[in-house]
């Protein structure tokens, strides 16, 4: 996976909500709106919301498992450099937040952002600007599967997107013109970050 594709996950989790006004969105409320929707869009909205929620829960559960394994790593434990200590503390706080959360859709979204805050800079940072500690941390992240978790999330999203399009097509004749036009734009998009942002926006606005 190319670095920009990995970083796209962080952009989705951290920047997309700002587009809609982070402080005004509660994904538990969005869920209620989707479930109470009475338009022909409801089956599509429910399908999208449920699948995106499942993807997020799987991603974070794996992220917590990765974090726990990293925190047990003997080389990491022995490394007391300030940057590494900060990294360890951030991972510990992330795991504690997960353990103490209700793990509903709102919590999962926040946890995804928290996890992204921890790892994204090490993938984004140019190679020649990485400190020895940053290189060490990146190696640890890859050793325990952070990159593969990101790759799996993207792959699963694309599978979902195909199913979402098929679901949408089933109800296309009953949809409003705006939704049909949106679907054509969605089908034409190939980039993960754009497709994820588009379907999330559709669920929030149309739900």
Domain chopping of the chain, boundaries: 3-206
| pLDDT for position 24 | 54
| pLDDT for position 15 | 46
Helix (H, G, I), strand (E, B) or coil at 164: helix
Q: For residue 26, what are the CA distances in angstroms to 97, 104, 107, 150, 184?
A: 18, 11, 10, 24, 28
Distance separating alpha carbons of residues 84 and 135, to the nearest angstrom: 10
DSSP state of 39: S
Distance separating alpha carbons of residues 50 and 137, to the nearest angstrom: 34
Compute the radius of gyration of the chain from its Cα atoms: 19
Q: What angle do CA 98, 104, 108 make, to 5 degrees?
A: 50
Q: What angle do CA 167, 170, 171 make, to 5 degrees?
A: 100
Distance separating alpha carbons of residues 157 and 110, to the nearest angstrom: 19
Helix (H, G, I), strand (E, B) or coil at 96: helix
| pLDDT for position 8 | 52
| pLDDT for position 1 | 46
| pLDDT for position 109 | 85
Per the CB < 8 A criterion, the answer to whether 164 and 47 are in contact is yes
Q: What is the pLDDT along the chain (207 residues), one digit of tens a residue?
A: 444 455 455 545 544 444 444 445 777 888 888 888 888 889 999 999 999 999 999 999 999 999 999 999 999 999 999 999 999 999 999 999 999 999 988 898 889 889 988 998 898 888 889 999 999 999 999 999 999 998 899 999 999 999 999 999 998 889 889 899 999 999 999 888 889 889 988 888 876
| pLDDT for position 22 | 46
| pLDDT for position 18 | 43
Query: Nearest Cα to 115, choosing from 76, 162, 57?
Result: 57
């Amino acid at each position: 996976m190319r670095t920009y594709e990995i970083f796209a996950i962080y952009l989705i989790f951290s920047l997309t909500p700002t587009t809609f006004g982070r402080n005004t969105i509660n994904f538990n409320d969005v869920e209620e709106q989707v479930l109470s929707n009475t338009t022909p869009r409801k089956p599509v909205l429910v399908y999208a919301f449920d699948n995106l929620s499942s993807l997020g829960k799987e991603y974070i559960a794996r992220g917590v498992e990765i974090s726990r394994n990293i925190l047990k790593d003997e080389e990491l434990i022995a490394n007391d450099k300030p940057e590494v200590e900060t990294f360890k503390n951030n991972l510990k706080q992330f795991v504690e937040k997960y353990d103490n959360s209700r793990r509903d859709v709102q919590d999962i979204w926040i946890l995804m952002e928290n996890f992204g805050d921890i790892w994204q800079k090490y993938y984004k940072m140019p190679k020649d600007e990485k400190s020895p500690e940053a290189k060490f941390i990146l190696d640890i992240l890859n050793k325990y599967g952070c990159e593969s978790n990101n790759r799996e999330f993207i792959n699963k999203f694309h599978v979902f997107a195909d199913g979402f399009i098929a679901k949408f097509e089933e109800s296309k004749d009953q949809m409003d013109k705006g939704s049909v036009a949106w679907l054509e734009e969605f089908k034409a998009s190939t980039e993960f970050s754009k497709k994820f942002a588009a379907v999330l926006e559709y669920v929030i606005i149309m739900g």
